[in-house]
Structure 1
Amino acid sequence: MAKGMAVLESFDTDRQRLNATLAAQRTGLTRAAARRHLLTLAHLGYLDSDGSYFWLSPKVLRFSGSYLASARLPRAVQPVLNRLAAQSRDAFSVAVLEGDSVVIVARSVSLAASNGALDWDGSSLGQPVPRVQAVRLLAHGLHLGARLPVHATSTGRVLLAALPRPAFTAWLKGRDLPRLTPHTVTEPQALRQIVAAVRQADHCIASEEHELGVHAVAVPVRNMAGATVAALNAVVSQQRLQSGVVQRELLPLLQDAARELRPQV
Structure 2
Amino acid sequence: MGRATGHVEDSRAARELAGISPSDYSEALERGLAVFEAFKTPSAQLTQADVARTLDLPRATVRRTLVTLTHLGYLAVEGRTYHLTPKVLDLASAYLISNPITRILQPLCERVANEFGVSSTVAVLDKADAVMIARALPEQSVTLGVGLGYRVPGPQSALGRVLLSVLDEADRRERIIASLTDMQEEDMEKEVSRIQNAIAGAASDGFSYVADEVDLGFHSVAVPLLRWDGAQIAALNVGTTPDKISAVEMTGPVRARLQEIARQAQPQLI
Match of 1:238 among 225, 231, 242: 242
The equivalent of 1:198 in structure 2 is 202
Alignment of 1:88-127 (within 5 A): 88-112=116-140
Normalising by structure 2, we get a TM-score of: 0.80
Alignment of 1:141-152 (within 5 A): 142-152=146-156
SS at match of 2:239: strand
The equivalent of 2:51 in structure 1 is 23
Residues 28 and 193 of structure 1: is their aligned pair in 2 closer, same or farther, counting only changes over 3 Å?
same
SS at match of 1:216: strand
- What is the deviation of 1:79? 2.0
Match of 2:175 among 171, 174, 198: 171
Alignment of 1:45-124 (within 5 A): 45-112=73-140
The equivalent of 1:222 in structure 2 is 226
In structure 2, how many angstroms separate the alpha carbons of the residues matched to 1:188 and 1:43? Answer: 45
The answer to whether structure 1 residue 211 and structure 2 residue 215 are counterparts is yes
- What is the deviation of 1:186? 7.8
SS at match of 1:221: strand
Kindly report structure 1 stretches of 4+ aligned residues shifted beyond 6 Å. Answer: none
Query: For structure 1, which segment, 56-65 or 78-87, has the greater mean C-alpha deviation from structure 2 after superposition?
Result: 78-87
In structure 2, how many angstroms separate the alpha carbons of the residues matched to 1:243 and 1:150? Answer: 20
The answer to whether structure 1 residue 8 and structure 2 residue 36 are counterparts is yes
SS at match of 2:80: coil
Asked if the contact 1:137–1:235 (Cα under 8 Å) also holds between the matched residues in 2, the reply is no
Residues 109 and 194 of structure 1: is their aligned pair in 2 closer, same or farther, counting only changes over 3 Å?
closer
Q: Deviations over 1:13-37 (max 9, x none)?
A: 3351111111112222101111110
Asked if the contact 1:20–1:32 (Cα under 8 Å) also holds between the matched residues in 2, the reply is no
- What is the deviation of 1:240? 4.8
Asked if the contact 2:128–2:179 (Cα under 8 Å) also holds between the matched residues in 1, the reply is no
Asked if the contact 1:149–1:156 (Cα under 8 Å) also holds between the matched residues in 2, the reply is yes
In structure 1, how many angstroms separate the alpha carbons of the residues matched to 2:172 and 2:71? Answer: 42
Q: Which letter maps to 2:58?
A: T
Q: Deviations over 1:186-221 (max 9, x none)?
A: 811111111111111111111111112211100011
Asked if the contact 1:223–1:229 (Cα under 8 Å) also holds between the matched residues in 2, the reply is yes
Asked if the contact 1:91–1:137 (Cα under 8 Å) also holds between the matched residues in 2, the reply is no
In structure 2, how many angstroms separate the alpha carbons of the residues matched to 1:87 and 1:239? Answer: 17
User: What is the number of residues matched between the two proteins?
Assistant: 235
Residues 171 and 100 of structure 1: is their aligned pair in 2 closer, same or farther, counting only changes over 3 Å?
closer
Residues 240 and 186 of structure 1: is their aligned pair in 2 closer, same or farther, counting only changes over 3 Å?
farther
The equivalent of 1:249 in structure 2 is 253
Aligned CA-pair RMSD: 2.2
Q: Which letter maps to 2:201?
A: A
Q: Deviations over 1:143-199 (max 9, x none)?
A: 111111112211011111121233223434x434148xxxxx981111111111111
Once the two structures are aligned, what percentage of the paired residues are identical?
32
Gaps spanning 5+ residues in structure 1: where? 113-135, 180-184
- What is the deviation of 1:232? 0.1
Asked if the contact 1:4–1:37 (Cα under 8 Å) also holds between the matched residues in 2, the reply is yes
Q: Which has the higher contact order (CA 8 A, sep 6+)?
A: 1
